[in-house]
Amino acid sequence: MPKNFSRKAFERWLKDNYESFKFKPRLIAASKRSFTLAFDGLDGITAEIRMYGEVLYWGDGELLEPSPFVDMSEVRAHDGRYYCELCEPTVMFPSREALWEDHLFSHMLGWVNKRYDDKKDLEVATECSKSGKMIRVDINDL
């Protein structure tokens, strides 16, 4: 099956950004309309990247609630540049790929790496509770 634009663009972006992931992504499913990644060390968490400019995050097969859903509505301007019509103010990108990198792939990298920080905070909280020390962990950040 030929790869769609979103998968080709992601694979090119990933070559330069793979080492930036604290939980390394790996492809676990692909179709004509989407592909799904799992992340080593984030058991049960997956990201589904859809060809229409969406990223959905799943936890153990359920859509995460509240969902950190990312959406984009790409438009090609008359001069050949791209922008997202959902964004205010409008930011122009030199290519469709640059728009996807900015709006979807970089966001996913940040979201995945935030899970690493949350996991470290949770481990610290667990360790401190064993020692009898108190530590404040904001449950909304987990």
What residue segments make up the domains of the chain, in order of their start? 5-141
Query: 1 or 74: whose pLDDT is higher?
Result: 74
Residue 44 Cα distances to 38, 58, 59, 77, 88, angstroms: 8, 8, 5, 39, 34
Task: Report the pLDDT averaged over residues 44-68.
Answer: 85
* pTM, rounded to two decimals: 0.78
At residue 126, the 3 state secondary structure works out as: helix
Lowest mean pLDDT among 19-23, 71-75, 81-85: 71-75
Among residues 47, 66, 63, which one has the least CA distance to residue 55? Answer: 47
